[in-house]
Amino acid sequence: MPATTRNSTGPSRLAKGIGEAMGVIMNRYKISGGQAFEVLKRVSQHRNVKLREVAQEVAETGEVPGAEDR
């Protein structure tokens, strides 16, 4: 099997994970998709971890690392 076929689900899984995390953030804080992505990006940069790792944590826990409730 060619490498491109084996790895074809990687990017779509990544996008799904980020999308799920964005949905959690959008629902919890009543913000837009763009704002939710900025939250993920800011947390990723602040913690110096990959955005996909932050997204996975948000999707699994329903919490934004380091965020306080409004």
Candidate from 8-12, 26-30, 51-55 with smallest mean pLDDT? 8-12
Q: At what angle do helices 33-47 and 9-29 cross, to 10 degrees?
A: 110
Task: Specify if 17 maps to a domain.
Answer: no
Full-model pTM: 0.78
What's the confidence (pLDDT) of residue 4?
Answer: 47
Domain count for the chain:
1
Flag whether 35 is in a domain.
yes
User: Is 21 domain-assigned?
Assistant: no
User: Domain of 59?
Assistant: 30-63
Q: What is the pLDDT of residue 48?
A: 97
Task: Give the 3-state DSSP-derived string for 25-66, with helices as H, strands as E and coil as C.
Answer: HHHHHCCCHHHHHHHHHHHHHHHCCCHHHHHHHHHHHCCCCC
9 pLDDT tier (thresholds 50, 70, 90): low
pLDDT in tens, 16-49: 899 999 999 999 999 999 999 999 999 999 999 9
Residue where the block lists tokens 């940069």? 45
